[in-house]
Amino acid sequence: MLVVREAWTAGGLASSLADIKGKLSVCAVHLKGWSLVKFGSLKRAILSLQKEVEVLLLQAHIRGSMALVQAKEKQLEGLLEREEIYWKQRSRADWLLAGDQNSKFFHAQASARKKKNTIVSLTDDNGSIHTSPEGISITVHQYFSSLFNSTNPSVEDIERATRGIESRLTVQMNDWLDDMFSFTDVKRAVFELRSFKAPDPDGFHAIFFQKF
């Protein structure tokens, strides 16, 4: 897609993860603008074409009008398909197939998912309720920082606790687990993701990385 190519090539090559993250942000901005142009007026275009088809059908007795009706209906089918795919991507209900003409269902799914994923408030360890984005963010950070914080046990404590546990890892298996991820490992993991799932908070579906 030209929009992605132009956004990605802007600013030169990426040489670090920070550069890649920056390019993804630029892509997101460009794609948002493209989406507003392509889909922002989609509903209005569909309604307008539907009215045109209705008028043309009333004039079907006029010679040559049926060819125009067929052309408009084909154009309308294309717009309806675009609307359906748009809402399918937004809903991430990928157990339904494109072609089911369930745009209303997909729209409801997208709205429900957004509502479900919205955190209205959180209560911290002291019983205080936080409703602001900053307060919720701090509460989440404190909770998980405490949850995954180490008590720094000594080597002797670890050996004592694991003494009765039989090791099932061979040296070769342990070396394999300690290896750095290869390009092949990362590519396989990405292409095993379901196409319309978003693996990261940036919102990019897996299909973005699979295709581009």
Q: Which of 6-20, 43-57, 127-141 has the highest mean pLDDT?
A: 127-141
Q: Which of 7-16, 37-46, 107-116 has the lowest mean pLDDT?
A: 107-116
Q: Would you call 95 helix, strand, or coil by DSSP?
A: coil
Over range 190-199, report the average pLDDT: 73
Counting DSSP H helices and E strands in the chain, the numbers are 10, 2
Q: What is the mean pLDDT of the chain?
A: 76
Per-residue model confidence as pLDDT tens digits over 80-118 = 777 776 766 665 544 445 445 555 555 565 565 566 667
Long-range Cβ pairs for the range 195-201 (8 Å, 24+): 195/94, 196/88, 196/89, 196/92, 196/94, 197/92, 197/94, 198/92
- Distance between CA atoms of residues 176 and 191, nearest Å: 22
**Cα–chain center distance at 104:** 20
Q: pLDDT band for 10, please (50, 70, 90 cuts).
A: confident
Two tokens at 18? 């920070």
- CB contact set of 73 (below 8 Å; sequence gap of 6+): 53
Q: What is the percent of the chain with per-residue pLDDT over 90, rounded to a whole number?
A: 3
Over range 138-158, report the average pLDDT: 85
Per-residue model confidence as pLDDT tens digits over 53-79 = 778 777 766 666 677 777 888 888 887
Two tokens at 74? 């084909």
For the chain, the structural domain boundaries read: 165-212
Write down the pLDDT at residue 98.
47
- Distance between CA atoms of residues 35 and 42, nearest Å: 10
Is the per-residue pLDDT at 171 higher than 70? yes
Cβ neighbours of 206 (radius 10 Å): 18
Write down the pLDDT at residue 93.
47
In DSSP notation, 34-87 reads: HHHHHHTTHHHHHHHHHHHHHHHHHTTTSTTHHHHHHHHHHHHHHHHHHHHHHH
Write down the pLDDT at residue 95.
47
